[in-house]
Amino acid sequence: MEHVTLVGIDLGKHTFHLHGQDRQGKAVFRKKVSRKQLVEFFAKLQACTVVMEACAGAHHMARKLAGFGHQVKLISPQFVRPFVKGNKNDFVDAEAICEAASRPSMRFVSPKTESQQSLSALHRVRESLIRDRTKTINQIHGFLLEFGISLPVGLAVIKRLPAVLAESPLPPRMVDLLERLHAHFKHLGEQIGEIDQEMGRQLAEDDLGQRLLSIPGVGPVTASVLAAEMGDGKQYACSRDFAASLGLVPRQYSTGGRANLLGISKRGDKNIRRLLVQCARSYMLRLERLSGRLADWVRSMLARRHSNVVACALANKLARTAWALATHHTTFKLDVSLAQV
């Protein structure tokens, strides 16, 4: 084992498949181990490079193995797939991970800290609760419409649902059902409010999150998501690489020396991309009251391009700004006071 320099791990729930290589890329060993055996194996193995796919459990395992002195790298699964040779199995996947990691131009994913994972989980729970609340609202509207009652859209109408039920001649069983849905709606709203408060407390303790709040149009939710997912930003060579990872750059289909640029690629994390576009639209709504280089640039873009195109372009610029603040440890200098969303 003293010649092992690179180990690829195909992660599983209970079992893990290992493929070890020496400096020349020759296979040294193949192992199938349990989770306990995996930790014991790397605790005794000499320091080497360990590579895994960035999937469930990868960040925890990366922190665990890094504690033993190993250099741990994570690769996006989409970059490993082309290196799978022949039929697919777990050992072939582990070998493909080693092959992909050996490429000098390969891009890696930075392992997350425990706080970053906790904050990311908090956002996922919040999104799930918001989807459940929206589903509950739609059910209430649908059931009322079946009895000829059409309500305006919005949360305010649902909040005064008891008054609507008192004025409407509905069957008692349907009233009970709608009251139960209304109680569920209130419970979801309380849960979302508690998560927002917890998110605000975590953001107040995060230096990067506070600096991201200085970006025009960026509010607590977007700043919190960026702080959790981007980290220090050093896994990206430049700001354009970060914007490209979010799918905010044009998709390219060029051949024969002729460049053909299409719409945005929509790759990467669609949640961050959606939030940045919303931040851009919020900034554009307040454009008449704003001044400075950024506002002048947006006005010049709106004079010749559609507002949807400008929103994506501004979201691209906001993403690049966020990367610059994270990597250079600076704060965005505002020309005027801006409202945050």
Q: How far apart are the C-alpha atoms of 245 and 12, rounded to whole Å?
A: 26
Q: What type of residue is 198?
A: E
pLDDT at 1: 63
User: Residues 31, 36, 40, 42: is their CA dihedral positive or negative?
Assistant: positive
pLDDT at 292: 83
Nearest residue to 265 (alpha-carbon basis) of 256, 257, 253: 253
Query: How do strand 71-75 and strand 49-53 relate by DSSP bridges?
Result: parallel
pTM: 0.80
List, for the chain, all residue ranges whose pLDDT scores fall below the cut of 70.
Answer: 1-2, 334-341
pLDDT at 336: 47
Q: How far apart are the C-alpha atoms of 315 and 264, rounded to whole Å?
A: 11
Look up residue 34 and give its two tokens.
């349990």
pLDDT at 25: 84
SS3 labels along 268-323: CCHHHHHHHHHHHHHHHHCHHHCCCHHHHHHHHHHCCCCHHHHHHHHHHHHHHHHH
Ordered strands of the 15-21 beta sheet: 27-34, 15-21, 6-10, 49-53, 71-75
pLDDT at 232: 78
| Contact (CB, 8 A) for 33 and 18 | yes
pLDDT at 183: 95
Per-residue DSSP letter, 255: B
pLDDT at 15: 92
Q: What type of residue is 70?
A: H
Classify 310 as helix, strand or coil. Answer: helix
Q: How far apart are the C-alpha atoms of 46 and 220, rounded to whole Å?
A: 44
